[in-house]
Amino acid sequence: MPSPTAPPAPASPASAPPARLPFGVLTLLGAVVFAAITTEILPVGLLSVMGPGLGVSESRLGLLVSVYAVVVVVGSIRLTALLVRWPRRKALGAVLLAYALSNLVVAAVAEFWVALAARVLAGLAHAGVFSVVVALAVTAVRPEQAGRAIAYVNAGNALAFSFGVPIGTFLGTAVGWRWAFALAGIGLLVLALAAARVLPPAPAPATGAHPPVRDALRRPALAAVALTIMVFTLGHYTAYTYISPLLLHAGVPEPALGAALLGYGAGSLVGLAAAAALADRRLHSGLTAAFALAVAALLALGGPASSPWTATAAVVVWGVAFGALPTLLQTAALRATPDSPDLAPSVVNSSWNVGIASGGLLGGRVLESAAPPAVAYAGAGLAAVAVLLVLAGRRRASRRPGLLPS
């Protein structure tokens, strides 16, 4: 078994993946990520129209998002430990079918608690899907191509925020929210069928090929990555959850909020392209730059000199930083556990959702006692801590390899 800091062992010439990226497989996996993120966030834009259909208030409907995130946090690692015993194509098909069923149930029922139970099922599917998707992506390419493969798949993440959620919100408000969930469920069924046809069959990974989950979680390198993710995403969602009040405070007119958020989405695509270039060769530099960009953008967004134009520019830069980070952090986690490509994504997924679940709460507390710029400053402070964690990990790794992948 390789050491925790060793790069993945190269495959033998007879079994090595081809040098060219398998774009068909990666496109399918990116579509799965797109569907998963759209499913996760879709209720946010539809809370006002879902309430009458389910007979509850908007505040109660928020549970459809928060409970989903909690299930992901609690279930990611445990579900990965189960799915790692299955052939990955079969595992992906199972979680996609669970996703599809959950969306179709939400579309059909009139009882809120049944819809909430369906969202719990969706959260479990989400907890497993990213582990399987990332493992399929990195095992389909050569080790030195892993970062580019992850970036290609993570395009589905950026496109979901830029197009998937806005289109789902528009559809749900125009023709009915049940249609939005029904079409999401049908799309997931199509992806399950496509996975059965496009993905190559493969046996379950050998049990001895993976370290016990508890042993892998004790590795300092993986713990450092998880801590960095939780600190940064806590800061990010402290501010991002309240991006509309921030922009309005800076003087951005309400009709222009959509354009500013579209700029964030466009910036995230630029950041994703930068991550694809940096992840395999300059991972540490890419992480440091992305975190530093986020700090600068948040300080500018909340600063006293902020204007509608500077605030919009800051949001675009913020999008560049955030767009790069999923790929860079997934790559760092994979380098921390080269002998278990299924576990690293589950740790990233769980850590990320800790930030999602906690950031909105922290931002709300800050906003209750201070003006909107305070949430930007709080986010910038936590992002600065993430920069320090990366730099400290780099110094420790130079003395004792393994504390943060370089």
Which tops the pLDDT comparison, 159 or 321? 321
DSSP state letter for 253 = -
The pLDDT of residue 85 is 78
Over residues 376-401, mean pLDDT: 81
Q: What are the tens digits of pLDDT across the range 171-183?
A: 888 888 999 999 9
Return the pLDDT at 2. 32
> In terms of DSSP H, where are the helices of 337-372?
343-369
> Which pLDDT band, with edges at 50, 70 and 90, does 217 fall under?
low
Across 8-22, 114-128, 325-339, least confident range? 8-22
Report the distance separating Cα 3 and Cα 402, nearest Å: 9
Q: Which CATH class is domain 211-399?
A: mainly alpha
Start and end residues for every CATH 1.20.1250.20 domain found in the chain: 23-208, 211-399
- What region, left, alpha or beta, does residue 289 occupy, with left being phi > 0 and alpha being psi -120 to 50 degrees? alpha
pLDDT at position 135 over 60 = yes
Say whether pLDDT at 13 is over 70.
no
pLDDT exceeds cutoff 60 at 399: no
Residues 103, 265, 343: CA angle, nearest 5 degrees: 60
Fold that domain 23-208 belongs to in CATH: Growth Hormone; Chain: A; (1.20.1250)
Average pLDDT over residues 111-131: 90
Average pLDDT, the chain: 82
Kindly list the distances between the CA atom of residue 90 and the CA atoms of 136, 211, 228, in Å, as whole numbers in the listed order.
Answer: 12, 22, 32
What is the CA 128 to chain-centroid distance, rounded?
13
Band (pLDDT 50/70/90 cuts) for residue 315 is very high
Asked if pLDDT for residue 205 goes beyond 70, the answer is no
Mean pLDDT along residues 3-24: 53
φ and ψ of 55, to 5 deg: 75, 30
Per-residue pLDDT at 406 exceeds 60: no
Please determine, for residue 157, whether its predicted confidence score (pLDDT) is greater than 50.
yes
Amino acid making up residue 318 = W
8 A C-beta contact, residue 378 and residue 366:
yes
Confidence band for 31, pLDDT divided at 50, 70 and 90: very high
pLDDT one-digit tens code per residue, 231-285:
999 999 888 878 888 888 888 887 787 788 788 888 988 999 999 888 888 888 9
Lowest mean pLDDT among 93-102, 104-113, 270-279, 350-359: 350-359
Predicted confidence (pLDDT) at residue 403 exceeds the cutoff of 60? no
| pTM of the full structure | 0.74
Give residue 11's pLDDT band: very low, low, confident or very high (50, 70, 90).
very low
| 36: pLDDT strictly greater than 60 | yes
How far is residue 258's CA from residue 261's CA, in Å, rounded to a whole number?
Answer: 5
> With bands split at pLDDT 50, 70 and 90, how would you rate the model's confidence at 1?
very low
